[in-house]
Amino acid sequence: MKYLVIFLISGLILSCTNSDKKAASTNRDSLNSVALEDSANYTSLQWVDSTFQDLGKVNEGQVVDITWHVKNTGTKPLVIASVIPGCGCTVAEKPTEPIAPGGDGVIKAKFDSKNQTEGEHRKSITVNANTKEKSYFLAFNVNVTKK
């Protein structure tokens, strides 16, 4: 009986913790959606690096880190609402907080060459932000070689 009570209390605590995280994520997603639609809060950005990167040769199975630096050149906070990789072999990460006017941010990605065919691959990431131009395309090229 004692174990049943402990099990039930543990389940209750875990469910509360998970729902709080989901609520915070949902609130952030809602705020990002509002920022994208509210033209009064549009800003501008500049890609510090080229939006295209050539990663050269990579051995199959290797994971490669890629970064793009972005600068908020406008007068309102820059909200990177989403970063969407073009395929499952790439995972992208956006800044978690808005970028202040004049501030810099980083978009990170990881390309996993595991199970990729040998040869050249061109991959892309779509970035959505609260700017007049809603979407930006980041791309990289990689040449996968067998070990």
Q: Concatenated DSSP letters for 97-142?
A: SPBPTT-EEEEEEEEE-TTPPSEEEEEEEEEEESBSS-EEEEEEEE
| pLDDT tens figures, 18-72 | 444 444 445 445 455 555 567 788 999 999 999 999 999 999 999 999 999 999 9
Task: Report the distance separating Cα 63 and Cα 50, nearest Å.
Answer: 21
The structural architecture, per CATH, of the domain 39-145 is: Sandwich (2.60)
Q: Which amino acid, 115?
A: N
Q: What is the pTM of this model?
A: 0.74
